[in-house]
A = this chain, B = another copy of it.
Amino acid sequence: MNTPISTLTIGALAKSAGVGVETVRYYQRRGLLAANGAHRGAFRVYGMDEVARLRFIRRAQALGFSLDEVSELLALDEETDRERARAFAQAKIADVESRIRQLEEMRGALQGLVSCCEHTEAPAPCPILHALANAAEPPARE
């Protein structure tokens, strides 16, 4: 009766968020999760607060935040940092949108090559390879 309900070993914690044990340890090394806390015998045990924190990390990652950014998000206070959290999210939206635009440019260029290829008669050199080999401009540096 002195095993308080819901204290987990590292393996159970990891499973609760769908990650591997090594990932949890990695987050501890990075300071995203506390490395020392309650122990039961020789093993570290984790409570529901740490389950929540780990899930927070994974959700923020799924939204496109890097682990460094997740650190910053974790340091924000729900009560007093609303402005900052919103600015953070808006900056990430801008970031995601610029990546989308870049990919859309690639898609457009690729589609142009493919449709050109489809409209060229058979006994001609491949327009795709030809375009790659002989485009107008050298791609800008960077």
A-B CB contact pairs (8 Å), 10 listed: A18-B140, A59-B135, A73-B132, A78-B129, A81-B126, A82-B122, A86-B126, A86-B128, A99-B103, A100-B104
Q: Known: A110-B96, A138-B18. Is A133-B78 also a contact (CB below 8 A)?
A: yes
The count of identical subunits is 2
Residues on A lying within 8 angstroms of B by beta carbon are: 16-19, 52, 55-56, 58-60, 62-64, 73, 76-79, 81-82, 85-86, 88-90, 92-93, 96-97, 99-100, 103-104, 106-107, 109-111, 113-114, 117-118, 122, 125-126, 128-130, 132-135, 138-142
Main secondary structure of the interface of A (DSSP, over half): helix
- Output the nearest chain B residue to A52 by Cβ-Cβ distance: B133
In the complex, A52→B56 CA distance in Å?
49
Q: Which residues on the B side are within 8 Å of A16 (C-beta)? A: 138
Q: Are B138 and A58 in contact (CB under 8 A)?
A: yes
Question: Residue A56 contacts which of B18, B79, B125, B133 (CB distance < 8 angstroms)?
Answer: B133
Q: Are B85 and A96 in contact (CB under 8 A)?
A: no
Closest 6 CB pairs of A and B: A18-B141, A78-B125, A82-B126, A85-B128, A64-B106, A78-B129
Q: Are B17 and A89 in contact (CB under 8 A)?
A: no
Can you name 15 extra interface pairs (CB under 8 A) apart from A64-B110, A82-B117, A100-B107? A18-B142, A56-B132, A59-B132, A63-B109, A64-B106, A76-B126, A78-B125, A78-B130, A79-B125, A81-B126, A82-B126, A86-B118, A88-B128, A93-B114, A99-B103
